């Protein structure tokens, strides 16, 4: 018999991890819902031609493609859900009152994994605040994300802020440079040698900025840039002040993962049971939605990554399992479940409580510990 192989980057999720993931998703969406965000459920597939058209600067890479047997058009499996929320906001909910608060949770698939995260199938949960472009809007989504992570048991959550469009703004203004994308890449990689050219040397100063929010803001202001950059730094500071319950850092050189974000982005880190996650547990920021009539609409949002939380053991809810001997009346079983027990019914006289993972058993009309 051939081995039961799965494609690289895909795997089965078995108990108890699969149960953890479902509970974590429910907890995250419960917190988001409590802040007034309403759930939407976009499909797993989209037409390739439309998946990225709703987000400014979105790139069509990392996609798993297929052909639609019904129409012959190219399909893609979504690598992210934010673009789908942008489509819904720009079309189906174009006339809904703003600001529009939407929540989502579901699977995403990507063509390739990374060295740190080889998985190609992941579960995302998040929220999007559409129609507002202010530090208050960004601060709201950051605070909701923090509350959701804390509800899942993530500890020592920290927020790393970045300025995704800072380099293009500088390249078009006070620090003109021909290859702005190359400069942004060099900063992201901390590659000083790529910043040797005279027109690129001013950008080296950005590598001195990263650190705790207060000192980092001071170093940004010390660059003595002309308007509108001081106003941009004021907005960034307003976000920092509105997020008092977490450690906040600023790294204006960070670009990876912020392809479609505009004036601010953020990455979320944390620990589980005293151990830091290997990579980030969430990401978000401000971005622009492109509407069919050509208008641009501001938005802010975040995505949380559920799988690393489950893999770290968060989301456990070890409900005591109660073994019901063969012949236990159904009315009794229903009553025990109503009391909060997880019941496991025997199917034969030979079934054993301990072998079936039960902590207790129903015996002589009462609950006793499984022997």
> Do 243 and 143 meet the contact criterion of CB atoms below 8 Å apart?
yes
Residue 257 has what pLDDT?
83
Across residues 234-260, what is the average pLDDT? 93
Identify the band that residue 58 occupies on the pLDDT scale cut at 50, 70 and 90. Answer: low
361/331 same-domain check:
yes
Identify the band that residue 48 occupies on the pLDDT scale cut at 50, 70 and 90. Answer: confident
Domain membership of residue 208 (yes or no) is no
3-state secondary structure 184-215: HHHHHHCCHHHHCCCCCHHHHHHHHCCEEHHH
d(CA 45, CA 81): 10
**Mean of the per-residue pLDDT values for the chain?**
94
Three-class SS state of 78: coil
Question: Can the peptide bond before residue 245 be classed as cis, meaning omega within 30 degrees of 0?
Answer: no
Residue 2 has what pLDDT?
60
Select from 311, 336, 353 the last residue of a domain.
Answer: 311
d(CA 234, CA 229): 9
For the chain, the farthest-separated pair of C-alpha atoms sits apart, in whole angstroms, at 87
Domain membership of residue 190 (yes or no) is no
Three-class SS state of 75: strand
Select from 311, 331, 360 the last residue of a domain.
Answer: 311
Q: What is the pLDDT of residues 303-314, one digit of tens each?
A: 999 999 999 999
Domain membership of residue 49 (yes or no) is yes
30/59 same-domain check:
yes
pLDDT at 57 over 70: no
Give me the helices (H) in the chain, please.
Answer: 17-34, 48-51, 82-90, 135-151, 166-171, 180-189, 213-221, 229-241, 306-311, 330-338
Domain membership of residue 111 (yes or no) is yes
Residue 265 has what pLDDT?
97
Domain membership of residue 176 (yes or no) is no
d(CA 166, CA 132): 20
For residue 280, the domain's CATH number is: 3.30.930.10
Q: Count of residues for the chain?
A: 371
Domain membership of residue 5 (yes or no) is no
Which of 63-67, 138-142, 286-290 is the least confident region? 63-67
Residue-range definition of the domain harbouring residue 52: 17-163+247-311
Q: State pTM to two decimals.
A: 0.92
Which of 82-91, 146-155, 255-264, 299-308 is the least confident region? 255-264
Total domains in the fold of the chain: 2
pLDDT at 319 over 80: no
């Amino acid at each position: 018999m051939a081995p039961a192989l799965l494609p690289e980057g895909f795997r089965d999720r078995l108990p108890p991890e699969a149960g953890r993931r479902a509970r974590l998703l429910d907890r995250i969406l419960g917190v988001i819902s409590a802040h007034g965000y309403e759930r939407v459920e976009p499909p797993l597939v989209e037409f390739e031609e439309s998946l990225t058209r709703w987000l400014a600067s979105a790139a069509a890479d990392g996609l798993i493609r297929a052909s639609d047997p019904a129409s012959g058009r190219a399909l893609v499996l979504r690598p992210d859900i934010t673009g789908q929320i942008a489509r819904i906001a720009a079309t189906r909910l174009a006339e809904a009152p703003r600001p529009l608060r939407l929540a989502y949770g579901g699977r995403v698939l990507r063509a390739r994994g990374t060295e740190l995260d080889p998985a190609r199938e992941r579960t995302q949960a998040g929220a999007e605040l559409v129609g507002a472009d202010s530090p208050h809007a960004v601060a709201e989504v950051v605070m909701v994300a923090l509350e959701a992570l804390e509800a899942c048991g993530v500890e020592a959550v920290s927020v790393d802020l970045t300025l995704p469009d800072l380099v293009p703004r500088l390249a078009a203004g006070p620090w003109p440079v021909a290859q702005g994308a190359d400069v942004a890449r060099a900063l992201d990689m901390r590659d000083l040698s790529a910043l040797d050219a005279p027109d690129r040397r001013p950008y080296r100063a950005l590598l001195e900025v990263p650190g705790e929010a207060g000192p980092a803001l001071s170093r940004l202001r010390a660059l003595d840039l002309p308007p509108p950059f001081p106003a941009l730094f004021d907005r960034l500071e307003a976000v920092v002040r509105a997020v008092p319950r977490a450690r906040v850092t600023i790294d204006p050189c960070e670009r990876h993962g912020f392809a479609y974000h505009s004036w601010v982005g953020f990455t979320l880190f944390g620990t589980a049971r005293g151990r830091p996650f290997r990579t980030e547990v969430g990401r978000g920021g401000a971005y622009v939605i492109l509407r069919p009539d050509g208008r641009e609409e501001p938005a802010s949002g975040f995505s949380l990554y559920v799988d690393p939380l489950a893999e770290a053991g968060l989301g456990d809810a070890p409900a005591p399992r109660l073994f019901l001997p063969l012949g236990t009346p159904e009315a009794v079983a229903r009553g025990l479940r109503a009391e909060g027990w997880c019941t496991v019914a025997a199917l034969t006289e030979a079934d054993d409580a301990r072998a079936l993972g039960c902590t207790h058993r129903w015996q002589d009309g009462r609950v006793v510990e499984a022997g």
